[in-house]
Amino acid sequence: MIKFSELLKEDKIKHRHLGVEVSGVVKESPKQGKGVRSTLLVDVKGTEVGMFDEIGSIYSHEVTKVLRDNKWQAVDLSELKDQGYMVASF
């Protein structure tokens, strides 16, 4: 499991911003000062589900997986809870 703060710029991720899980590419670091951001700039691959690809902000709690060492690993969102952000479980 990867901590949310360990995400890096250009990491490939899976997220549920469009209601179903699609992939995307992180365009900025999630770190902000001593904590993490509540939103993240991502190149969203909407064409996977019949929508448009676009770069935009998604809520941090919508990130589900990150591609590391050619394997999809779950993302630990407990840091977001510690900062008071709402985290939905899917």
- What digits encode the pLDDT tens for the residues 43-55? 999 999 999 999 9
Contact 71, 57 (CB under 8 A): no
pLDDT at 89 (0 to 100): 54
**Per-residue tokens: 47:** 């064409």
| pTM for the whole structure | 0.84
pLDDT at 36 (0 to 100): 87
> If pLDDT is split at 50, 70 and 90, which confidence band does 79 have?
confident
Q: Encode 57-87: b = buried (16+ Cβ within 10 Å), e = exposed.
A: ebbbbbbebbeeeeeeeebebebbeeeebee
pLDDT at 78 (0 to 100): 85
Domains annotated for the chain, with CATH where assigned, are: 2-82 (2.30.30)
